[in-house]
Chain A
Amino acid sequence: MTGTNKTPRQSMPEQNPQVRARNFEEVPLGYTPEMAVAEAGRCLQCKNPTCVQGCPVNVDIPGFIKHIAAGRFDQAIGKIWERNSLPAVCGRVCPQEIQCEGNCLLGRKGEPVAIGNLERFAADWERAHHVCELPSREKATGKKVAVVGSGPSSLTVAGDLVLKGHEVSLLEAFHKPGGVLVYGIPEFRLPKDIVASEVSCLGAQGVSIECDVVVGRTVTVEELFEQGFDAVYLGVGAGLPKFMNIPGENLVSVLSANEYLTRANLMKAYLFPEVDTPIPQGRHVVVLGGGNVAMDSARTAMRLGAEKVSIVYRRSRAEMPARGAEIHHAEEEGLNFELLVNPVRYLGNEKGRLTGMECVRMELGEPDASGRRRPVTVPGSEFILECDLAIVAIGSGANPLLTRSTPDLPLNKWGYITANAETGKTGKKAVWAGGDIVTGAATVILAMGAGRKAADSIHEYLTWGW
């Protein structure tokens, strides 16, 4: 580390909160080349870069930043592509504050280098200019791999294995590839043409992408082997919405966040009636939960024209699992936070429409198994929160559709697939798994990290055997 760094962190320009709260355009606007060079100049180029250790796919962070600092943007993106095939996505949705940037030496005394913003800049620059060649493929091995699901972990597996010369088929149940990147994350946080562009790079490298295939229904894992695949990777996500099991939950105006976001994102229902899929509108929309999915749902409801949107969370702001930046954006956009509040039943009218929910106030007691202080009901604190649309964003469980049709695949007691943390190997021969179907709901980059390890292990198997 050489001396101190006087340049302040370049903040990324953003759309004005009052304006953006009513549109679906992306919130942060991106760095200009000058800002990127200035920000990259802050990097200390540490000999033992701790930022790289904080990255689940170990991008050579000082390496690519050095190129940006020198204005060599084409080489910067090439350096990132060596380890990460989804930089425009990761630059936008990774929790950098607890990963690369959280480990940055500059962050000890001041503000860390804006690694995420720089990664995003390099990827966006490349998309605008198209001057870089994709990494080249090794000689064809004649081995075939089926990758089930097309979210971040699967895309990583497919990208890594196709480069090693294997024949890769990506099988997606929805009609568009990208998994949570297309159905879950809103346009204003991750524009869908960016996902499409990064997925199409995989196609250009030779990955076959087939949509409308529900593995477990259209074809089973066993049948994939019968059809000549040598290895199968399962990256199907968690994807079973959790509900609170309280009275009135099946009223018409109570939706899972999965349904709400799928309508808004994948089906583009925010353009209804230009597109055919409708989405329920509310005047006062209540979102239950405190994670990124809750923030995404609430900010979507705001953009769809709600007069008021409230986040109802049973703990305090400090325990919210959402990224700080997302909570901050939500606050700027005027979302209302009802903290230390828990619903106990929904109230509806004769048409099945929601009219409100009965809630109780909570206080924090001793820490529970998650390490967070357990919320405890305050006796006699019942009150009615009037609302006409509720979105339940309290997490996802393991979807059993694929696992039920693969009876010899070992699962844990919650129904997630048991897989070796270092290799992604499952208890079934030639089958690997990773991402949310192994860990439960997590982040894009952790899923990619799991994909990277599994790809290495699959390559080893295809070369040397199980």
Chain B
Amino acid sequence: MFKIVKREEMASGTVVLNEIEAPRIAAKARPGQFLILKANENGERIPLTMAETDPEKRTVTVIYMVVGKSTELFRRLQVGDAYQDVIGPLGQPTHIEPGKNVVCVGGGTGVAVLHPIARGMKNADCRVTSIIGARNRDLLILEDKMRLASTDLHICTDDGSYGRKGFVTEVLKEQLTRGGVDQVVAIGPVPMMKFVSLLTKDFGVPTMVSLNPIMIDGTGMCGGCRVTVGGETKFGCVDGPEFDGHKVDFDELILRLQAYTEQERLSHGRCKCEGVHS
């Protein structure tokens, strides 16, 4: 069992942080890697990229948005409760090149995954310009941490309730136009990563995205997380989760992520009936 030692609600309770005791994983995990979590006996195996690891406290931290039945079950777990299963660290760690001029773009809960990468890059003497965004002020997470991990931080909200009104791509375009950017890292909703990648392609700036396709085992066995990258089929779990944004077939990924939309609605509907919502 993997006990929760810290729990925090963000973004008006729609986003939850869980710090979980997992000694073996904490000792091994690197930025960019992910875990698979399963709440209980009948639960689904859900992949989530780690937001933090603390080898001394022997813990790992995930931050997730509550969207369906499984994440709803995750949200119900309180400090002292445990996940039945936590598996990892899975996937390839982020490759960090020191001394580069990097722009880190994060949207929604993607900022949680972006943060350790931005921090790692800043620690490796990169100049880190971060652009983080959300639909509105309430949904913006980790602003303070991102400020510490960045040389320069820009904030946008879709409705203008905080920072600049508009999309992260608009600020990114200004940065790219100014020039001198060696690399862009974009993590967030798939459409955001798609539009960031289209933009950076015009400017010829290498772009890394972190994908979260549907998967079961996370070890290359099920093939559910297939992604087309540069015309080749890759497995998100073992070849990723990070890929060259200019080569990813985002439209295919969007369709594949919708594979179970109807069933999820059914499952979540039942979940509400049974009073899972606290």
- A: residues with CB less than 8 A from B are 173-175, 211-214, 217-219, 239-241, 243, 245, 249-253, 255-256, 258-259, 262-263, 267-268, 272-278, 280, 351-352, 399-401
Contacts and interface: CB of A to CB of B under 8 A. Distances in A.
B75 interface: no
Contact of A175 (B24, B25, B38): B38
A328 B222 CA distance: 28
Contact of B224 (A175, A211, A255): A255
A273 B88 contact: no
A259 B218 CA distance: 11
Contacts of B259: 252-253, 280
Given A217-B90, A258-B222, A399-B219, A273 B263 contact: yes
B206 to A, nearest CB: 25
A148 B44 CA distance: 24
A276 B28 contact: no
B221 A273 contact: no
Contacts of A274: 42
B252 A352 contact: yes
Given A256-B224, A351-B258, 13 more contacts: A173-B219, A175-B45, A214-B219, A218-B24, A218-B88, A241-B223, A250-B227, A258-B221, A272-B263, A272-B267, A400-B238, A401-B219, A401-B238
Contacts of A400: 220, 238
A194 B87 CA distance: 25
Contacts of A212: 85-87
Nearest to B232: A245
Given A276-B44, A276-B69, A218 B216 contact: no
A259 B233 CA distance: 16
B233 A250 contact: yes
What range describes how many residues of B lie at the interface? 35 or more
Majority secondary structure of chain A interface residues (helix, strand, loop or mixed)? loop
B201 interface: no
Contacts of B44: 267, 276-277
A173 B217 contact: yes
A245 B228 CA distance: 12
B224 A173 contact: no
A209 B63 CA distance: 30
A214 B88 contact: yes
Given A276-B42, A401-B219, A252 B85 contact: no
Interface string B232-262: 0100001000000000000010011011100
Contacts of B228: 250
Contacts of B238: 400-401
B84 interface: yes
Nearest to B38: A175
A414 to B, nearest CB: 15
A241 B255 CA distance: 21
A255 B38 CA distance: 22
Q: When A and B form their complex, which 4 residue pairs have the shortest distance between CB atoms, in order from nearest? A: A352-B255, A278-B263, A259-B222, A256-B223
A277 B256 CA distance: 16
A399 B238 CA distance: 10
B89 A218 contact: yes
Contacts of A240: 220-221
A277 B25 CA distance: 25
A141 to B, nearest CB: 26
A262 B45 CA distance: 11
B190 to A, nearest CB: 13
Contact of B256 (A256, A258, A352): A352
Nearest to A236: B219
Given A214-B88, A218-B88, A245-B233, A275 B42 contact: yes
Given A217-B90, A352-B255, A401-B238, A259 B216 contact: yes
Contacts of B233: 243, 245, 249-250
B264 interface: yes
Contacts of A277: 44-45, 216
B3 interface: no
B226 interface: yes
A197 B55 CA distance: 36
B212 interface: no
A267 B89 contact: no
A217 B216 CA distance: 16
B24 A213 contact: yes
A252 B88 contact: no
B43 interface: yes
Contact of B221 (A219, A251, A262): A262
B28 A351 contact: no
Contact of B223 (A174, A175, A243, A401): A243
Contacts of B43: 276
22 contacts: A173-B219, A175-B85, A212-B85, A218-B24, A218-B25, A218-B88, A239-B221, A240-B220, A243-B223, A243-B233, A252-B259, A256-B223, A259-B223, A263-B216, A274-B42, A276-B43, A276-B44, A277-B216, A278-B264, A280-B259, A352-B258, A401-B219
A129 to B, nearest CB: 28
A112 B231 CA distance: 53
Contacts of A352: 252, 255-256, 258
Nearest to B262: A278
Interface string B52-91: 0000000000000000011001000000000011111110
